[in-house]
Structure 1
Amino acid sequence: MAIYEVYSHPALLRYRTSICTKATLFLLLVLCLTYIPPLLVAYRSHGFWLKLSTYEEQPIVRFQYQVLLIAATSTNGDYVAWSTFQNFNNLQGSNLRIPSISAREEDQNQDGKLDQLNLKLALPLEPSEQIYSVQLILTFSYQLFRMSTFVMQSMAYIQHSSAIPGSQLFVSGDLKLQQRQPLKHRGLDTTYNVSVINGNSPFASAYDLTTIIGSYQERNISTVLSNPSPVWVLGRAARAPFAINAVIRYPVQIISYQPGFWEMIKFAWIQYVSILLIFLWVLERVKIFVFQNQVLPTVPVPLVKQHLS
């Protein structure tokens, strides 16, 4: 009659010994070698604690309709200027030129967040005046919400000059976030929610571009107009205004931030366990070899299941 296997199960052996034996010391050594070295390997391989992380977010940007414009009309220091700040305009005297300006912000993908600003400015000039350079400051409200709530007043600085007088300046660029330090992972940060230009000051020093830009650049977090790609158009008619056309996009930003405690623990735990599994597998095979071959004396005791009738 043919014999075949109807059922199988592994046999379980227990290896017993007293406390003060070589087998006990060996087991303690194996436990230490199993759990401590993976921690040291993970820590010494750098990046065990996650100190900096990044995420993507499209900021909520709003043009604040604050403009400061200075345009050189000669190479000898003559200029014309205008701003949305009355105190600045009062200081200009005969250099003041009031332009016509239009601004339109668009939500191109209909996600509830504005994507770009289209600005058109026409600066009136005397027939004898020509424009050789332009310096323009536009201010924005800039907000982030995904991790911490970050709110600031920011700006875009547009500048271009040419040895040949022009009739139009076209600029197209991205309003990008610049970080010297990461954001917090939660909370409210309004450190830089202050005006870029002090429009209430009656003093000319408050509107000096060197002062404004120098103070702005001291911020740890700011915005800059990236890749403006200026186009300087020549050939202005005698009584035609000088035109400035700007397209400023608000792209998705890669934001760096300081991870919180639980995110750090999660990242460290993943690294530790991935190395621990290797040590568990190797040292378990070592224990099986040592005890099955009685390298260290122990008493094997089979586990017998008792069935109650």
Structure 2
Amino acid sequence: YRSDGFWRKIEFYREQPDINFKHNLILMLQLRDSVPAFKFWSTYPNLNTAFRSDQLSLPYITNREIDTNGDGKYDELNIDLNVAIDPKDQVIGAQLILFFDYRLHSKIYLQMESITHMKYESPTTGRGLRVIGNLKLNQKEPLDFSNLFLPLFIVYRSDGFWRKIEFYREQPDINFKHNLILMLQLRDSVPAFKFWSTYPNLNTAFRSDQLSLPYITNREIDTNGDGKYDELNIDLNVAIDPKDQVIGAQLILFFDYRLHSKIYLQMESITHMKYESPTTGRGLRVIGNLKLNQKEPLVYRKHHIGLNENIIGSQEFFIEDMLESYIRRNCESLLIIIKT
């Protein structure tokens, strides 16, 4: 019968939430060497009254919620904010808070006001910022299920009893493909960056003074001897001019990612690391965990090889476009930074 598990205390299930933008937001722009030092605006009048008129700047806002699969629930929010600021003002940071109505209806009945918080700071000034991301529910404690069932069946090993969605845990087989893209951001230099990749067609798009070949060493480690790599240690040393001041770094690593147990999945995946600092530096150390982010369930015992395509194509290449296309996939790997 429909028993949602056999005497379980904690159960996991998957449901697409019903999320609606409440058309409420808080925006703050950070300015360099300006009085006032910021521009603020919100859809809450009581907040705006706490600031002087020269600290407020009303943005022109357009937004569009999109139901991509026609199931009656919004899957995407596209929002544009245009702020009129004085030409002499130099924007070096932005902070945006969006407010949503978040609901679950299936096994758990949940309704709450939720937010997304985006904060960006840069050592250099800019006239625009583009952010692409996924909204994810973070839950610290289980929510109570409304009913208790006492099934009178012995369920044999059948990977669940008439289940539609099941979660399981598997260590993936991940191998570094020895492909990468590296970009160093320089302060007050010509050129303003140093670039290099293992893809010759990308390197040819840059001038010789924009390229800098790094010395690379890497080692994959199987810590528990199960035949799968658990760690990747990679060192990149870039020879740059002593007068160059490095204020940022961007690194993309490419991996072969496979699952073999209940789901057969093979795909090319990436990790994207981006770091910017107001002060110059001669080195950067990053420690993190690689995590699979999955938007929709994968079919049991089916071979999912459609994702096993080269992320870098032969078309004209831009890092931002590549990353946007990548996060739209059903499965992607993310680097969860532990320490920088």
TM over 0.5: yes
Look up the SS of the partner of 1:125 in the other structure: coil
Contact 1:75 1:132 in 2 (8 A): no
Distance (whole Å) between structure 2 residues aligned to residue 114 and residue 85 of structure 1: 25
Letter in 1 for 2:266: V
5+ unaligned residues in a row in structure 1: which ranges? 1-37, 231-309
Output aligned runs, 1:87-126, within 5 Å.
87-93=201-207, 94-126=209-241
Pairing 1:222–2:335 present: no
Look up the SS of the partner of 1:141 in the other structure: strand
Match of 1:170 among 282, 285, 289: 285
- CA distance 1:188–1:127, change in 2 (3 Å): same
Deviations 1:83-140, CA, capped at 9 Å, x for gaps: 0011111222110000100111000111111111000000110121111001110000
Match of 2:300 among 185, 195, 198: 185
- CA distance 1:114–1:41, change in 2 (3 Å): closer
Deviations 1:161-204, CA, capped at 9 Å, x for gaps: 00101111100111100010112110211111011222xx3x6x
Match of 1:154 among 263, 269, 278: 269
Distance (whole Å) between structure 2 residues aligned to residue 178 and residue 149 of structure 1: 16
Task: Compute the TM-score of the two structures, normalised by the length of structure 2.
Answer: 0.52
Contact 2:185 2:248 in 1 (8 A): yes
- CA distance 1:163–1:75, change in 2 (3 Å): farther
- CA distance 1:131–1:41, change in 2 (3 Å): closer
Contact 1:67 1:138 in 2 (8 A): yes
Contact 1:148 1:186 in 2 (8 A): yes
Deviation, 1:75, is 5.8
Look up the SS of the partner of 1:53 in the other structure: coil
Hey, which of these two has a bigger chunk of strand by percent? 2
Output aligned runs, 1:56-135, within 5 Å.
56-74=169-187, 78-93=192-207, 94-135=209-250
Distance (whole Å) between structure 2 residues aligned to residue 53 and residue 86 of structure 1: 43
Q: Computing the radius of gyration over CA atoms, which structure comes out larger, 1 or 2? A: 1
Distance (whole Å) between structure 2 residues aligned to residue 41 and residue 139 of structure 1: 39
Letter in 1 for 2:170: E
Letter in 2 for 1:218: R
Deviations 1:55-105, CA, capped at 9 Å, x for gaps: 111000000011101111116781010000111112221100001001110
Deviation, 1:39, is 7.2
Give the superposed CA RMSD.
2.6
Look up the SS of the partner of 1:216 in the other structure: helix
Distance (whole Å) between structure 1 residues aligned to residue 230 and residue 3 of structure 2: 48
Structure with higher RCO (Cα < 8 A, 6+ apart): 1
- CA distance 1:40–1:68, change in 2 (3 Å): closer
Distance (whole Å) between structure 2 residues aligned to residue 141 and residue 214 of structure 1: 20
Deviation, 1:148, is 2.2
Deviation, 1:216, is 0.2
Letter in 2 for 1:196: I
Match of 1:213 among 323, 329, 333: 323
Contact 2:286 2:337 in 1 (8 A): no
Distance (whole Å) between structure 1 residues aligned to residue 303 and residue 3 of structure 2: 37
Hey, which of these two has a bigger chunk of helix by percent? 1
Letter in 2 for 1:54: F
Letter in 2 for 1:215: S
What percent of counterpart residues are identical? 31
- CA distance 1:123–1:53, change in 2 (3 Å): same
Look up the SS of the partner of 1:227 in the other structure: strand
Question: How many residue pairs get matched?
Answer: 188
- CA distance 1:45–1:100, change in 2 (3 Å): same
Letter in 1 for 2:196: W
Contact 2:251 2:274 in 1 (8 A): yes
Look up the SS of the partner of 1:169 in the other structure: coil
Match in the other structure for 1:34: none
Output aligned runs, 1:271-290, within 5 Å.
none
- CA distance 1:95–1:144, change in 2 (3 Å): same
Deviation, 1:51, is 2.4
Look up the SS of the partner of 2:256 in the other structure: strand
Task: Compute the TM-score of the two structures, normalised by the length of structure 1.
Answer: 0.57
